[in-house]
């Protein structure tokens, strides 16, 4: 199987970027970040970073945090 990107890959990434930008601009009610959706769809960190305009490292960290679940709130401390 050939693992090199096809000539249509940049065009597809461009279309995904437009859909992601529109999703963010419309204020999607989904609480799932675009990066997570793209990761679940099989895109790699470098591809996702090209779509959302963040570094691959920032994308990787966001995905790792999402996989680890929400942080527990510290008890006894409240923000005022």
Task: List the domain boundaries for the chain.
Answer: 29-66
Q: Give the predicted TM-score (pTM) of the model.
A: 0.65
Residues 40-51: what's their mean pLDDT?
Answer: 89
Closest Cα to residue 37, out of 11, 19, 14?
Answer: 19
Of 31, 39, 44, 38, which is closest to residue 15 (Cα–Cα)?
38
pLDDT at 71: 65
pLDDT above 60 (res 80): no
What tokens does 52 get? 């959302």
d(CA 60, CA 75): 29
């Amino acid at each position: 199987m050939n693992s090199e990107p096809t000539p249509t890959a940049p065009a597809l990434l461009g279309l995904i970027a437009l859909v992601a930008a529109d999703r963010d601009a419309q204020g999607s009610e989904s609480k799932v970040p675009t990066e997570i959706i793209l990761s679940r769809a099989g895109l790699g960190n470098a591809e996702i970073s090209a779509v959302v305009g963040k570094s691959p490292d920032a994308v990787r960290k966001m995905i790792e945090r999402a996989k680890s679940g929400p942080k527990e709130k510290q008890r006894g401390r409240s923000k005022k």
